[in-house]
Amino acid sequence: MSPLLPDRETVFFRNAAGSVVFHSTGYVELAWGPGRLGLDELQAFYEQALTLLKSTDSGKILSSHGQRQPLSAAAQQWLTGDWIPRAIRQGGFRYCAIVEGQDPVHRLSTQGVVAASPVGVEFKRFQHRADAEAWLGSQRAR
């Protein structure tokens, strides 16, 4: 996408977890809400993100954690053992910029997912969204 064109956001999916948004500058955003989630809601959210990754061929995710609650152990295990490997294979998932959440316990849960994730995705954590967007923009599309 041309850097001279403004970024356009398209909400692709929304549930209790938050919104899955496509940015015309070439990435999928996971805009998390603050509520506690059941595993089914979280899985539906991520499955929609995978559908969007497949259809856009971007390979990039910006995960805006904000006030997201820490993920359960079952959710972390599902992400690292199931969803991330499928997203790499099926959706070309290669880059994930994480804008840190407010809760220190949440940041530990995020670190657990990053540390247990399979090889193939480069994760980078940021305090500020603009820095995360700049980093994603500097990465080649798949």
**69 has a pLDDT exceeding 70:** yes
Look at residue 4 in the predicted model and tell me its pLDDT: 54
- In this prediction, residue 134 carries a pLDDT of 96
Q: What is the pLDDT of residues 27-68, one digit of tens each?
A: 999 999 988 889 999 999 999 999 999 999 999 999 999 888
Q: Tell me the average pLDDT of the chain.
A: 91
Supply the pLDDT for residue 2: 44
In one-letter notation, the amino acid at residue 92 is G
What 3 state SS string does 3-43 have?
Answer: CCCCCCEEEEEEECCEEEEEECCCEEEEEECCCCCCHHHHH
Alpha helices in 19-126 (DSSP H): 39-56, 73-78, 84-91, 104-116
> How much is the average pLDDT of 64-84?
92
Pairwise pLDDT comparison (134 vs 34), residue with the higher score: 134
What are the structural domains of the chain? 9-138 (3.30.750.24)
